[in-house]
Chains A and B, each alone.
Chain A
């Protein structure tokens, strides 16, 4: 049960990352590698501020804003300086590694006794569940903090998912979707596809940094390396979600992405439980994403019905 709850908690935290990756990779078809840097940036910023005694909500918001800034930078490199999309992300990600080291002061910072969101949530939910440190659920004992995180992270994911769903139906949100779908069309009806892309990357990386900030608080430390492989993790969740829901409607895809993240974490937890060497985790993840990307085309060539294939590559500003 403890394994299940903590896997769910990780899944919920990474679902926010997955939603960010969904925005850049699926809505904008932009291969945004910034994520690896902005995830750690969110964690580093929030951790440092928490250690300095900031309130958890403020520190977490600051982490989110830092991610937004990182995304904006990538967007500007791509649109203003016309650097290839993938390279723009790599440049920002690389720069962020040093920046994160500066923010943290060293490569690994523990949160220790500092206030964190999970601790705040535990206090809040103790009003509901009583003061005891352990709770008995269906015969299993679970720490009160894990239960509180599960509760509040579920709320948070609902709020983020629904918020994103509603946002994508506003004038600005539809313009963003159109900019990803057909940049030429959005220019022809009077909106700047470049500005929309910058905004989209800012939003995506804000979510990714938020995810990093929450993870740091949940595991009570931040590490400058913690962002490595995050793009691939996010993509894995998006891909699992897509194949689960088998729909191209964005509302359903948002739900699918969240469920995909939960399932992916669950699979990893089970694999680790079954004796998978933690060192192999990223290799396995990469292989999994590779298989998920190649399988549709392979199946198609053998004429088996499959969900629509996955593609990438930026279109913005390159069709002059």
Chain B
């Protein structure tokens, strides 16, 4: 389904702020797999997601999705295959427009946008039906501007918009990180339900070890722009938050050791 091969990306190349964010990341995901990406700050997990979404082009490497080579597709063209929910609840919706207008816009994903009415009775009733599945009472507030909703409600609607037409790939970029615990739980429940119901292929970046072990069927751990650990099948099923934290600690320790070892070697050889 998704084949990312040897992705490299450097930001601010040639300046003192140069960051090599992706250092040869390769990742293949089968149809219907729900992958969690975890990693330390600056490990490149969001960068990987943005590279796949087309927010920027990678410096080298290749991205294939559903049989298309999308490496050079601009962002809006990839969006015909990819649904996205952002970390910032303000990013995924148009705040001054109503709930139904926002969803109607998403219902045209991959279709031409011409001079037909964006809303009609049939679409309205479908929007209302699908909103009621979120169990947030939003189906009665179709004409409310999105700007009046809470972060959790926005994320749930963005999720609904991202999956209105079954996307080939769903990208979730820490989409509950900015929410209070109760809203986060609610959005996670909805996420899990929709992914299970539509058997979606999904890639979720998360900071929560709990989410990583309880959701999905694969865990990918990133560190310094590389994938350092990839758990699936029984290994993933057995994984506990403490195991994952243990692996992070191991990585940190080895990192601290490396400069010291290098120094030792330098001294003994010079």
Contacts and interface: CB of A to CB of B under 8 A. Distances in A.
Interface of A: 167, 169-175, 177-178, 181-182, 184-193, 248, 320
B93 A174 contact: no
B74 interface: yes
Interface stretch (B30-38, B102-110, B175-183): B102-110
Contacts of B168: none
A186 B96 CA distance: 13
Given A177-B97, A181-B94, A182-B95, A190 B110 contact: yes
A192 B93 CA distance: 15
Interface stretch (B75-83, B214-222, B257-265): B75-83
A181 B114 contact: no
Nearest to A175: B113
A251 to B, nearest CB: 13
Residue of A172, A174, A184, A186 contacting most chain B CB atoms (<10 Å): A174
Contacts of A178: 94, 97, 101-102, 105
B119 A169 contact: yes
Interface string B44-86: 0000000001011000000000000000001111011000101
A190 B79 CA distance: 5
A173 B115 CA distance: 8
B78 to A, nearest CB: 8
B117 A169 contact: yes
B118 A189 contact: no
A171 B84 CA distance: 21
Given A181-B94, A191-B113, 13 more contacts: A167-B115, A171-B116, A171-B117, A171-B118, A175-B113, A178-B94, A178-B97, A182-B90, A182-B94, A185-B91, A186-B105, A188-B79, A190-B110
Contact of A320 (B55, B101, B106, B162): B55
A175 B105 CA distance: 7
Nearest to A172: B113
B76 A193 contact: yes
Given A174-B118, A188-B84, A191-B76, A182 B91 contact: yes
A177 B96 CA distance: 9
A169 B93 CA distance: 17
3 A-B pairs closest in CB distance: A181-B94, A190-B79, A178-B94
B75 A187 contact: yes
Nearest to B103: A189
Nearest to A196: B113
A122 B162 CA distance: 56
B55 A190 contact: no
Contacts of B80: 190
A177 B94 contact: yes
9 contacts: A171-B113, A172-B113, A181-B96, A184-B86, A184-B92, A186-B94, A187-B75, A187-B76, A191-B105
A190 B75 CA distance: 8
B161 interface: yes
Interface centre among B95, B113, B115 (most CB of A within 10 A): B113
Interface of B: 53, 55-56, 74-77, 79-80, 84, 86, 90-97, 101-102, 104-106, 108-110, 112-119, 145, 161-162
A173 B96 CA distance: 14
B92 A188 contact: yes
A190 B109 contact: yes
A191 B110 CA distance: 8
The listed residue with most A CB atoms (<10 A of its CB), out of B101, B108, B109, B162, is B108
A174 B91 contact: no
A185 B92 contact: yes
A75 to B, nearest CB: 16
Contacts of A187: 75-76, 79
A170 B116 contact: yes
A134 to B, nearest CB: 44
B56 A170 contact: no
Nearest to A190: B79
Contacts of B110: 190
Contact of B101 (A174, A182, A184, A186): A174
A320 B53 CA distance: 13
A188 B50 CA distance: 11
A189 B114 contact: no
A192 B77 CA distance: 8
Contacts of B115: 167, 170-172
Contact of B97 (A167, A172, A174, A193): A174
A90 B102 CA distance: 34
A313 B74 CA distance: 24
A182 B118 contact: no
Contacts of B116: 170-171
B95 A181 contact: yes
A172 B92 contact: no
Contact of A170 (B77, B93, B118): B118
A181 B55 contact: no
Given A187-B79, A189-B106, A248 B114 contact: no
A63 B144 CA distance: 40
B114 to A, nearest CB: 6
A170 B105 contact: no
B96 A192 contact: no
A182 B90 CA distance: 9
A184 B91 contact: yes
A191 B95 CA distance: 17
B152 to A, nearest CB: 18
Contact of A181 (B97, B104, B109, B113): B97
